[in-house]
Structure 1
Amino acid sequence: MNLDDLRERIDSLDSEIVRLLNERINVVLEIGDEKKKSGAEIYVPSREREVFDKIKSLNAGPLPDESAHAIYREIMSAALALETEMKIAYLGPEATFTHQAARNKFGVSVDYIPTGTISEVFDRVQNKSADYGVVPVENSTEGAVTHTFDQFATTPLKICAEIYLPISLTLLSTHPKEEVTLIFSKQEVFGQCRSWLGANMPNARLSP
């Protein structure tokens, strides 16, 4: 096959993919209607996990499993947004690690509400101005986030899913690190980077 033939084949496949995506969405909407009639939850994390596991088992490559997961994450996010006006509260501002975790869990099609505090996330879920909340629970270097656990102890809200997010931090400066004497960041970041800072910049002053 020449290049034009291959492109024509791609166009044909794209047409079929779009048709099947919409067919899938229509079935999801039917499921959503049945859930609403019975009062069942629209979003079911365990079912979502089953779908991801099934897609992984079906994927024979060359598409990497991570790519297949990302594609289906957004397919399901789009379907969820069509089923209901889903709002997700998270510890903001935008682009925080918690925001990244929320997007990894719910995709880009739902609505996100940044909050200034962990307690506000809980408040929004309790007063139903948000359907779900995403908050930090534990850090592998600094341990449990006590404020989050305090909220679980004093509210009726429960954990319905967990998200693991690798954390990567970067030191920014216009000078070589040997010349840096003062570092600004959050106290949590200093805790997470304690070993690296102690080994590489022991004389720098830390300012939260």
Structure 2
Amino acid sequence: MQTRFIAFLFSAALFTACQSETAEPLVTGPEPMPYHIERDSIETGSYLDIAIGDEAAAVYPKIQALQAPKGVSALHVVSNIFSDLSPLRESIPLYEYILLDENQGTDTGVQITVKDGKVKAIYLNSGKKLDQWPEKQKAASSVRTGDDVAALYGKLANIRDMKNYSSKFQRIFLMTKNLSTTYDPAMGRSPQWYFGYATGQDAMDQIQVHFRAGKVAKIRIDHYSKY
């Protein structure tokens, strides 16, 4: 079954993210330009070889296979949130965007971007760019730009044990999956994954894969284009 409708979009955030690989913080900005969307919703059959009813673990390699033909560069995992760092030793190196914050969001929440196996950028939620977090701490107790992703868990564990920073581990968001790395079983608990790719000049598709009980329940395709 397929349904189609046309809508108006007044947020260009995803469109911009698909076109840019800069490690900018997530902050609000000027009023974006409107975009036009055509939207498809699929609840039977398949799309891009992703079939309704597929297990999450089976979907992941199918998305990995889209990197070369479609230019898919990242996979965003919704509600991939944890309150305990301890079981994430193997998971953290698999992600390119990590957010640490308190249960109620703060300006001092920490956004860590990883690229090519290294920490590329560190921002606070306020938009302040850092060379290391926490500032003025020794190397073993701070995350620094240029750090190897393999060292990230150990450094975060040391920071978590510091009284002044332990509250930043109340919510740990593993948000953007590195498609060159292996499947993370924790992804199977997410209700939705999404990714995007350019389809032409000032045009792109966003694919949302919705899960129910770890299986694909619906695929939504948003076709974005500028007016």
Q: State the TM-score, normalized to the length of structure 1.
A: 0.23
Q: State the TM-score, normalized to the length of structure 2.
A: 0.22
Determine which structure has the larger helix proportion and give its number.
1
Q: Which of 1 and 2 has higher RCO (CA within 8 Å, sep 6+)?
A: 2
Determine which structure has the larger strand proportion and give its number.
2
- Bigger Cα Rg: 1
